[in-house]
Structure 1
Amino acid sequence: MSERKRRMGKPMWITLDKQHKSYLSLKRIFDIHLSMLGLLFLSPLLILIAALIKCSDWKGKVLFKQIRLGKDGEEFWMYKFRTMHHDAEAKLEELKAKNEISGAMFKMKEDPRVTKIGKFLRKSSLDELPQLWNVLKGDMSLVGPRPPLLREVSEYTPYQIQRLLVKPGCTGIWQVSGRNSLDFYQMVELDLEYIRDMSFYLDVKIICKTIIVMVVPNNAY
């Protein structure tokens, strides 16, 4: 039986050792430099996307911000390009019964709240680009588990809480391994697998795969 299958079949608790902690310190330097370069070189694209969002729904803001939980459950404002109509949050309750993913998340493939430009941004993952600012601030890392909502974490088991042992990421192993075709429990196992095995090699591998996924989307919606 492969190591991955063995882990998926039996819960394994995580302990961060000195090697992990040294890697995380160096990773912060890596994150600062790459996020600065990303914001600088992608600024023309960011301006273009902002203009398209405003044209598609002029009543709403260009950026969407939402409280998420980071390392050790610390709250922070996460930024994304707005992909939904300005009144999307008010309509969430009436759509919860149509949730298409199990566990403590909400996903709906044909979500009526998503704008036309929003569908493209989600499909290409371009809506996530403002999170480079979160990385620069230190709220997030370039690679890591996706930052959960407060209501999602309130339903976590102690085992699932281990997702919060490290800073959340703009991208991660879940995004390049099937994304919305995977359920919540599979996502948790992938995130915990990343935390157990995290290294610069794995981070670079995930970043390269993310670039490919942005060009050829994998079940993003």
Structure 2
Amino acid sequence: MYKRYFKRLLDLVLALLVLPFWLLMLAVIAPIIYIQDKGTPFYNAPRLGKDGKVFKMYKFRSMKLNAPDLRNEDGSTYNSEDDPRLTRIGKFIRKTSLDETPQLLNIIKGDMSILGPRPDLPEHMNLYEGNEVRKLEVRPGVSGYNQAYFRNTVPWKDRIKNDIYYIDNLTFLMDIKVFFKTAISVLVQKDVFVEKTSNSKES
């Protein structure tokens, strides 16, 4: 019952309650992004949603305009505190996770949930093996079990295993635990960046 109906209702109610505060945040962050790099404050990226449907995920842009596309060896997005592609405000919003807050709009639209597996790139559909496609059984989340407990410290394939574990054990109590663990993780700013070179992009 929670997984099929109540979770979506809770997402929508909480997102609408937070929306006025996010609009105030937008009024502060968006002009700073524009002033520093003279470009759009948003980064809109195609991502895999529930049942494999591709949607446009919203983020505050943290990288310079026309930054090169770099990826890790496993195909996941590159993420480093010393990434020269980051703007000054970009480094701050990445570290504080404020760059993810525009996904509030994705929650309202029904593309995403507050909590769920982090969405993959559309091309990752061809890289799923065995039951890994099961991570698409639920709406992707702004945060989730893997983000809360492991953040960016585990390889992409291990993240998928954690996503499937979350789906198999999804309850209201599980989401409460993940929510508070996420809050702690964001506050202490632990494991935000991965100090490892390869090839990636704004994630």
Q: Which runs of 5+ in 1 are unaligned?
A: 1-18
Q: Aligned residues, how many?
A: 192
Match of 1:47 among 17, 27, 51: 27
Matching residue of 1:104: 75
Runs (4+) of structure 1 exceeding 6 A deviation are: none
1:75-112 Cα distance to aligned partner (Å, 9 max, x none): 11110000011102xx11xx44xx2xx52312242322
Matching of residue 31 in structure 1 with residue 11 in structure 2: yes
* TM-score normalised over the length of structure 2: 0.88
1:62 is displaced (CA, Å) by 0.5
Matching residue of 2:157: 185
CA contact (8 A) 1:68 1:148 kept: yes
Q: Distance in 2 between matches of 1:32 and 1:183?
A: 31
1:108-159 Cα distance to aligned partner (Å, 9 max, x none): 4232221121111111111000001100010000000011111222211132
Matching residue of 2:196: none
Q: How does 1:42-191 map to 2 (within 5 A)?
A: 42-58=22-38, 60-88=39-67, 91-92=68-69, 95-96=70-71, 99=72, 102-109=73-80, 110-191=82-163
Q: Which has the higher Rg, Structure 1 or Structure 2? A: 1
Moved more, 24-33 or 204-213: 204-213
Q: Which runs of 5+ in 2 are unaligned?
A: 194-203
The RMSD of aligned alpha carbons is 1.5
Q: Distance in 1 between matches of 2:87 and 2:125?
A: 28
Q: Distance in 2 between matches of 1:114 and 1:218?
A: 19
CA contact (8 A) 1:104 1:153 kept: no
More RCO (CA 8 Å, sep 6+): 2
Q: Distance in 1 between matches of 2:164 and 2:99?
A: 25
